[in-house]
Structure 1
């Protein structure tokens, strides 16, 4: 195909019905008014001018050269857009997106067909908007997203409180506190900035006020009604990311309307993600858009419903540039056949089903509260210590069962399921289960994990306290995996009552009594499949290069103060100061995060996240410092936040948030 020339509209104002002006950056194929083109729309709060500029400048020129317009719009209160953001995936946000789609469709350069795309926030709202059925929206590509906002996002997981909730609230506070670029909005940039600072919410307050899966989380969860989505969807994720469940869940829920692609990747687009191998996202996306936005008969609808990379025993490492494995496809996804395991009288994990009505074999488990420091980030942006590390660190404080060395490789794809009978002397506690690949040299790679607040054992909408001492049988569905356990490797099941700092502890730490005779583990067999070759990107380094004034720095560490009986998990992320060569705008973000706990006191838990954000060009500089904190009592979560803003060296704003939110069986 001949590449089409194009131009870039650096900033296009689009006025909503309520008078708010949103800012768009548009990549426009030349001659589109004479020969109208389809458009791809992306709607984010991450600042097109600086936050996502490198990614946008990698992707949308390629689309435009293929005759597809790219329309990247800042959500209200973000970047150069007016107004103030009102939350995450709100009715206002989604209705604004529908307005944007209608605006695009009626432009003289548009052929009336719009696709919506994005990763993370943009992947979420793409699916949510599709469920609203705006007439011009004809197809969606959703990357690293979710079908269930309560159980598969950064907030909660089976009723467990994820620490990522505070981390992301701090991140959003930092993003929304930054001003628009005066070069684009003119002299009223300060007025827009102060309006933003005065009125932006601290998202954590709303999120923590909904500790059950209520109407707040049901809104925007397409799993509530998969039938609402009637258009083709391509759903993509990576095994190294927290959003790994979505492609298979979408395949199950959306059926033939959905195609799933799962690689070895972190939380990035697959054409520049790690660990490698990468995928030719551009070729895939352009064929997808041409089929559904242009009507081109290119056979894209005949793709297998599921394509997945099966990891073949990667080892934890300080950095994982490439993971061993192989690509497979399944023409149609169905519930996998299970390979079942139980624990025999010698404590070995063996193939088969638990013996019915066997005498109870009870074991008491109470893990140190700082077990979990090898868990990595819930969602990962770099293939380094953000990935789960060698699990021997965490397995030392866990109850573990493992198979004998495997005589032949075993391949799995899907979600493991654990069933177990247990009891507790308190009304609630948490349980974490991990599937681990034990290599012949003892190295332990985490394959999958699942957590549950046992008060949520019968559902997340109406949790029920445990009756102290009364046995209950639970069913825990772990995260999806695509994995080969090699010959000579062992399959390990690790159980713990803590998984910190990924999961924040409940107010009590009673431990659990587990009947290991009742334990059943079902691993999803790969089953019938075909091998295939995934095309890799033509350009191995597609992101544009900016001018680096100071280098990036990343540090993660765990310290154990034996005298104070305290463990600290410390994160230092400095992007360095980088200048966009076209706009002259330099930006830098510094994230400092500390989580602390005493291994025997759940109420000692505390977390602090501080973001320092700089923007500058000749004659102009601004800085914001955003801080978010969480501590607890037995009855309450205590959260606070602050934002301080500087114009040059002059402080121009300061605000604090403080809130006490009662615990709700959590």
Structure 2
């Protein structure tokens, strides 16, 4: 094994960092060889700091570098770990990169309890340790994707004294609503390949049953090999916890960040294609954060590639240079909101904004009608029923006679009855071309997905009147209110934000179903799996969705006094911005004007 670091870099492997209860976590630290004090960029999480992208996610890595070869430039990529920054691209610019295996993961001892208050306190302790080392300038920044973004919200709310800035890149913030129980419905993410393949595969104690570092040869998940019974005793089982906790109780609230106490500069980056995991929470976290120094960017394309492109790294360095180094990087010219407005064909127009949602939004009600259309005028008529395990009902707008931009959150009002005591609503916001073929998009979760999604369990229909907004219903999720079979219930469904400039001749569609959206099977090389439009983010738990309740018939009602509608965020005048192949432009390829 070759563990000789690049020239100009010192690497300290498996450095012990002792927590306040005596448990020892282990960190890999990449720092400039020249003497001095430098800002620290820190990650803390359960994915195994010694496991490279190429080893753990070979297909995803290969797809990314094939499409964006600039990722390979200027680095050997030997130290590139999943969803974290590449030390070879940051250390030469005077940053220390520190990766810590969280409690019970990788080479760190202890009981694994994902996103728990204990794990968040550990993160706090790591930040304070990093901020007081003789190679540190006392300013610690946080940066990373997904897990390494989600826990930034949590720890920033504890206000570690040495924390100076955070870059939350595609990281949800509400564990109930964003991740594990969409609209009250259990998401497979808690028990699917993410949990078994990314987390349990590197639990501390896997030892010889796990992988070795391609650089040091050390076992990624600790030197000892424990039996499965001992491993289970050394972790809390997230799938069981999610099933057990039906409502937004102390289990979820103990993991909810104290947003008002986030007082450091914040850069939040979301993805239009992130419905079902990170999109909502990134935007909601940005809005709720107490700091006055905060910026939001919303882009498109896949989950990881935008993070690693040269343009994005320069963007991140401009942010951290301002707040960790005290340099005048020009960041003060950055608009509060930077949107990449989406057009079909993965084309985007970059636009500066001052707020979210946009103040000039024309909030339009488009009524669901019994003739299966979506129009500005309501229409009373006979109810429509659908089998919940079938294809549901799709309501279509007339073809647009000009380009129209829809950017922002959506809300859906329905009047529903069921043959049973509950009903799960799956709402799918879709785009169809002039021939009636659905236009699909590359997204964070799937390579061919619809515009956006929304969910609600009817028994969870009670709203929080303080937190609800006309365009963003907020459900309390504190108790169940069963349906009376055959009686009509009023439902307000939150549909996650989106952005699309609908071309002339295209149509918007809204599908109401009783199960997950699916399209034609397609191979997703980034995960080496066949997908159907929602990646692995299904809602298929038989314990959560027993067939005797949810395999039934639901009915939508269109009475004069009960007119269902979709609230759309229409942006006046369709912007006039020229769409570009934004990601090709980042690669330095010629800009293609649409």
**Which interval holds the TM-score relative to the shorter structure?**
0.7 to 0.9
How many angstroms apart in 2 are the aligned matches of 1:456 and 1:77? 35
- Residue 570 (structure 2) aligns with: 525
Is residue 8–residue 27 contact of structure 1 (8 Å, CA) maintained in 2? yes
- Residue 453 (structure 2) aligns with: 449
Provide, for residues 298-333 of structure 1, a one-character-per-residue CA deviation record: whole Å limited to 9, x for no partner: 23144222222222124xxxxxxxx12322221222
How many angstroms apart in 1 are the aligned matches of 2:424 and 2:583? 42
How many angstroms apart in 1 are the aligned matches of 2:233 and 2:186? 29
- Residue 258 (structure 1) aligns with: 294
Note closer, same or farther for the CA distance 1:313–1:351 as it changes in structure 2 (3 Å cut): farther
- Number of positions where the alignment pairs a residue of Structure 1 with one of Structure 2: 489
Tell me if 1:293 matches 2:294. no
Note closer, same or farther for the CA distance 1:537–1:63 as it changes in structure 2 (3 Å cut): farther
Tell me if 1:76 matches 2:112. no
Secondary structure in 1 matching 2:153 = helix
Tell me if 1:156 matches 2:162. no
Aligned-residue Cα RMSD (Å) equals: 3.0
- Residue 488 (structure 2) aligns with: 471
How many angstroms apart in 2 are the aligned matches of 1:141 and 1:468? 48
Give the alignment partner of residue 60 of structure 1, picking from 87, 92, 107: 87
Tell me if 1:189 matches 2:223. yes
Give the alignment partner of residue 400 of structure 1, picking from 387, 394, 397: 394
Q: Select the structure that is richer in strand.
A: 1
Is residue 421–residue 483 contact of structure 2 (8 Å, CA) maintained in 1? yes
Is residue 46–residue 74 contact of structure 1 (8 Å, CA) maintained in 2? yes
Secondary structure in 2 matching 1:164 = helix
Is residue 429–residue 506 contact of structure 1 (8 Å, CA) maintained in 2? no
Moved segments of 4+, more than 3 Å: 55-58, 180-188, 191-198, 334-337, 343-347, 526-541
Tell me if 1:40 matches 2:57. no
Tell me if 1:511 matches 2:547. no
Give the alignment partner of residue 119 of structure 1, picking from 145, 159, 162: 145
Provide, for residues 23-57 of structure 1, a one-character-per-residue CA deviation record: whole Å limited to 9, x for no partner: 2111101224xx31110110011111115553378
- Residue 64 (structure 2) aligns with: none
Is residue 98–residue 129 contact of structure 1 (8 Å, CA) maintained in 2? yes
How many angstroms apart in 2 are the aligned matches of 1:258 and 1:212? 31
Is residue 408–residue 569 contact of structure 2 (8 Å, CA) maintained in 1? yes
Note closer, same or farther for the CA distance 1:510–1:193 as it changes in structure 2 (3 Å cut): closer
TM-score, L = length of structure 1: 0.68
How many angstroms apart in 1 are the aligned matches of 2:225 and 2:178? 38
Q: CA deviation at 1:407?
A: 0.3
Is residue 49–residue 81 contact of structure 2 (8 Å, CA) maintained in 1? no
How many angstroms apart in 2 are the aligned matches of 1:142 and 1:243? 11
Structure-to-structure mapping, 1:277-356, within 5 angstroms: 280-314=311-345, 323-334=346-357, 336-344=361-369, 346-352=371-377, 354=378
- Residue 431 (structure 2) aligns with: 437
Note closer, same or farther for the CA distance 1:295–1:342 as it changes in structure 2 (3 Å cut): same
Is residue 206–residue 225 contact of structure 2 (8 Å, CA) maintained in 1? no
Is residue 77–residue 196 contact of structure 1 (8 Å, CA) maintained in 2? no
Q: Kindly indicate whether structure 1 or structure 2 has the higher relative contact order, using CA contacts under 8 Å at least 6 residues apart.
A: 2
Note closer, same or farther for the CA distance 1:247–1:207 as it changes in structure 2 (3 Å cut): closer
Note closer, same or farther for the CA distance 1:346–1:17 as it changes in structure 2 (3 Å cut): closer
Note closer, same or farther for the CA distance 1:402–1:183 as it changes in structure 2 (3 Å cut): closer
Secondary structure in 1 matching 2:42 = strand
Q: Select the structure that is richer in helix.
A: 2
TM-score, L = length of structure 2: 0.76
Provide, for residues 77-112 of structure 1, a one-character-per-residue CA deviation record: whole Å limited to 9, x for no partner: 222222331x11112111111111111111111111
Is residue 279–residue 537 contact of structure 1 (8 Å, CA) maintained in 2? no
Tell me if 1:487 matches 2:514. no
Tell me if 1:203 matches 2:238. yes
Secondary structure in 2 matching 1:208 = helix
Note closer, same or farther for the CA distance 1:128–1:4 as it changes in structure 2 (3 Å cut): farther
Give the alignment partner of residue 12 of structure 1, picking from 11, 15, 20: 15
Tell me if 1:138 matches 2:138. no
How many angstroms apart in 2 are the aligned matches of 1:292 and 1:94? 23
Note closer, same or farther for the CA distance 1:537–1:360 as it changes in structure 2 (3 Å cut): closer
Q: Gaps (5+ residues) in structure 2?
A: 1-5, 54-78, 440-449, 463-475, 518-536, 590-594
How many angstroms apart in 1 are the aligned matches of 2:20 and 2:252? 27
How many angstroms apart in 2 are the aligned matches of 1:499 and 1:24? 40
Tell me if 1:235 matches 2:268. yes
Q: CA deviation at 1:424?
A: 1.8
Q: CA deviation at 1:271?
A: 3.7
How many angstroms apart in 1 are the aligned matches of 2:219 and 2:24? 11
Note closer, same or farther for the CA distance 1:187–1:29 as it changes in structure 2 (3 Å cut): closer
Stretch deviating more after TM superposition (233-242 or 211-220) = 233-242
Q: CA deviation at 1:127?
A: 1.0
Q: CA deviation at 1:269?
A: 5.0
Note closer, same or farther for the CA distance 1:301–1:467 as it changes in structure 2 (3 Å cut): farther
How many angstroms apart in 1 are the aligned matches of 2:12 and 2:238? 32
Provide, for residues 419-448 of structure 1, a one-character-per-residue CA deviation record: whole Å limited to 9, x for no partner: 111212321111111111011122213211
Secondary structure in 1 matching 2:242 = helix
Structure-to-structure mapping, 1:382-401, within 5 angstroms: 397-401=391-395
Stretch deviating more after TM superposition (213-222 or 238-247) = 238-247
Q: Gaps (5+ residues) in structure 1?
A: 273-277, 315-322, 372-396, 542-666
Is residue 131–residue 229 contact of structure 1 (8 Å, CA) maintained in 2? yes
Tell me if 1:426 matches 2:420. yes
Q: CA deviation at 1:479?
A: 1.2
Q: CA deviation at 1:457?
A: 0.8
Is residue 339–residue 524 contact of structure 1 (8 Å, CA) maintained in 2? yes
How many angstroms apart in 2 are the aligned matches of 1:219 and 1:8? 36
Secondary structure in 2 matching 1:126 = helix
Note closer, same or farther for the CA distance 1:124–1:425 as it changes in structure 2 (3 Å cut): same
